[in-house]
């Protein structure tokens, strides 16, 4: 199940809690889509897929990158 996050702090908390999982799916709103990449990289994840959802949301699939 995907979690919906609407700010960088919530995204950081989610990535910290899920750190090390091979793949994570997260739903972000339009305002976060432009600022989420540095936060994702900070926790050694890479954005591997993004899907445009209704109402200004995006479903992101993140993959954990070991050794970074």
Q: Kindly report, residue by residue over 7-43, the tens digit of the pLDDT.
A: 999 999 999 999 899 999 999 998 898 899 999 999 9
Whether the pLDDT of residue 68 is over 60: the answer is: no
Whether the pLDDT of residue 51 is over 80: the answer is: yes
Q: To the nearest 10°, report the CA torsion of 5, 8, 14, 18.
A: 130
- The reported pLDDT for the residue numbered 67 is 62
Strands ordered across the beta sheet of 45-53: 3-5, 23-29, 57-64, 45-53
Q: β-strand 3-5 against 23-29: which pairing, if any?
A: parallel
Q: Would you place residue 2 in the very low, low, confident or very high pLDDT band (cuts 50, 70, 90)?
A: confident
pTM: 0.88
């Amino acid at each position: 199940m995907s979690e919906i996050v609407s700010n960088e702090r919530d995204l950081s908390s989610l990535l910290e809690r899920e750190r090390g999982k091979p793949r994570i799916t997260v739903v972000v709103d339009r305002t976060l889509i432009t600022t989420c990449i540095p936060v994702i990289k900070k926790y050694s994840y890479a954005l591997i897929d993004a899907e445009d959802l209704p109402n200004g949301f995006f479903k992101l699939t993140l993959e954990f990158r070991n050794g970074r």
